[in-house]
Each structure stands twice: as structure tokens, then as C-alpha cells.
Amino acid sequence: MVKIKGKLDNPDSANKEHWVVGKSKEDALERAAKKFKVNKSKITLIQDEDVLDTWYSSGILPFSSLRWPDDHADFKEFFPTALLETGHDILFFWVARMVMMTLEVTDQLPFKEVFLHAIVRDA
């Protein structure tokens, strides 16, 4: 989120126009200066505190979606699941992380079987 002295002193976090995205802090600062047409020295970047890394959040999906770590009925009833259906393209990136993170946190496998479906691609 962008805070700008004298122009946007109290940005609204719900207003998507008050946000910028960049590959680095410097990149975000450049983009903010261009977007709001102000000098970089007037800009304060505020990083969103409520963001999970995609790979991390995918790893905790099998148990976090069932209200873990609370002793909840959903977790007791539906964890572990019987089957995960996915494409082979994310086997390592997501499925392996789910297995590793779930084993680390719960000492159980998150699912008993993985069904890999076909992926149709063009040239």
C-alpha cells in the first residue's frame, strides 16, 4: 500500500487504487512514483502483513482449511482425505509441499492417493 505525504496521507487498504506491486521494494517504489506522479521521497511503502507465500499456503492447505490447529470437528472428520486430484505439472511444486508440511505438522499423510489427470496442451 502506498502512503504519500500531502496527497494520500491515510490510504484506504480496501481501495485497490492505493496499492502497487513490484518484484522488489525498489521496483514497487518506482511504480508508485509513476502511478501517482510524485517524487519517490514523498512515498512510504507499507507491505501487507496478511499475505502468505503461494507455495507456503499451498503446503498447509490440507489441514489449515479444516480449521487446524483448533480441535475442530471438521479436522477430525475430514483429515486426512482419501484422494487428491491434480495435474502432473504441479506434482513437485504443490503436492510435494503438501506432503512435507502436513507430515511435519500432523505426523500424517494429507491424502492416501493422488490421481493425476491428463493435461491437453497445444504446440
pTM: 0.58
pLDDT of 109 over the 90 cut? yes
Each residue's pLDDT tens digit, 35-89: 999 999 999 998 877 776 777 888 898 999 899 988 899 999 999 999 999 999 8
Residue-level pLDDT at 73: 95
pLDDT of 15 over the 90 cut? no
Among residues 43, 80, 86, the alpha carbon closest in space to that of 65 is found at 80
Residue-level pLDDT at 71: 87
Residues 64/97, Cβ–Cβ less than 8 Å: no
Residues 31/71, Cβ–Cβ less than 8 Å: no
Confidence of residue 110 (pLDDT cuts 50, 70, 90): very high
Distance CA(120)–CA(74), nearest Å, equals 35
Confidence of residue 6 (pLDDT cuts 50, 70, 90): confident
User: Which is it for the CA torsion 41, 9, 48, 71, positive or negative?
Assistant: positive
Residue-level pLDDT at 49: 76
Distance CA(76)–CA(71), nearest Å, equals 8
Q: Of 4 and 106, which is predicted with more confidence?
A: 106
Give the mean pLDDT of 20-26.
91
